[in-house]
Structure 1
Amino acid sequence: MSLTRSNVGEKEMKAEFFLPDDYRPAEDEPFMNERQLEYFRRKLITWREELLEGSRDTIEGLQESTRNIPDAAERASEETDRALELRTRDRQRKLVSKIDAALRRIGEGEFGYCEVTGDQISLKRLDARPIATMSLEAQERHERREKVHRDD
């Protein structure tokens, strides 16, 4: 999947209603009500656009920096920088896919619920990592299991 506008539906790309700039989801309101969903939808779209803009800048920079450098040490340094930048962009490309998946979950009414337990994911966790698909407890269990299998 490339870092271009993806298969996120138009419904996810346009605002549904007015949401104050200072709005923050609160524990005392119904979980994943329209305001919370809109808040997370906008947060995800903004994050996605920032990543895509960075990708465009990187591509332009890499195209401009393609030059013949006679000094071997300088050339090696530039190639290392380029490889690091490409790895970073690859991680960001994967992140854009996760953002698109979160936007789809919003559209399907599944956003904010743990894919393992079906429990609510805390608003604090979602605010910090809106692409989260597991509750903190489920994520910790998953990571412990991963660590045990990795140590074998």
Structure 2
Amino acid sequence: MKRQTFLPEEYRPAEDEPFMNDRQLEYFRRKLLAWKQELLDQSAETLEGLQDSGRNVPDIADRASEETDRAIELRTRDRQRKLVSKIDAALRRIETGEYGYCEMTGEPISLKRLDARPIATMTLEAQERHERKERVHREE
């Protein structure tokens, strides 16, 4: 069983401490878990809303509007589901000691980037190279 790391509420990872030390890992673990819980709560609300809107609407314009709203809700929910998968993958990387390091170069991902996007798997430079390469292949 992993020991609990003490983390003051005001703690923020800093560049002048060892990269991905226990406190940083705990900070990102908590951040990811809170984000995941928020998404799951939103997802539950979406499901309740979809079940409530399943009534028969006689006016064709109202029904079309409701169908559009449902489609948007379902697309949003699908994006959230994919995001939860990425969060789970990031949590697994924390457990295996791979979190915070670029999957392409092995270099540390900046703390600012991880704080803004805790599911990041590449440094900004590697991500930009990857996206440029993707664009080139798409244009061919």
Specify if TM > 0.5.
yes
TM range, smaller chain? over 0.9
Over the residues paired in the alignment, what is the CA RMSD in angstroms? Answer: 1.2
Displacement, 1:28? 0.3
Matched, 1:140 2:131: no
Task: Specify the code of the residue in structure 2 equivalent to 1:70.
Answer: P
**Distance in structure 2 (CA, Å) of the matches to 1:16 and 1:89:** 33
Task: Specify the code of the residue in structure 1 equivalent to 2:36.
Answer: R
Give the TM-score, by structure 2 length: 0.97
Stretches of structure 1 lacking an aligned partner (at least 5 in a row): 1-9
**Distance in structure 2 (CA, Å) of the matches to 1:43 and 1:133:** 16
Where relative contact order (Cα < 8 A, 6+ residues apart) is larger, the structure is 1
Give the TM-score, by structure 1 length: 0.89
1:92 is aligned to 80
Displacement, 1:17? 2.3
1:4 is aligned to none
**Distance in structure 1 (CA, Å) of the matches to 2:105 and 2:134:** 18
**Distance in structure 2 (CA, Å) of the matches to 1:16 and 1:104:** 17
Q: Secondary structure at the match of 2:94?
A: helix
Over the matched positions of the two proteins, sequence identity in percent amounts to 76
Stretches of structure 2 lacking an aligned partner (at least 5 in a row): none
Structure 2 counterpart of 1:114, from 102, 121, 126 = 102
Structure 2 counterpart of 1:18, from 6, 31, 54 = 6
Listed as ranges, the matches of 1:43-122 within 5 Å are 43-122=31-110
**Distance in structure 1 (CA, Å) of the matches to 2:115 and 2:132:** 24
2:22 is aligned to 34
**Distance in structure 1 (CA, Å) of the matches to 2:69 and 2:93:** 36
Q: Which 4+ stretches in 1 moved above 6 angstroms? A: none
**Distance in structure 2 (CA, Å) of the matches to 1:46 and 1:16:** 17
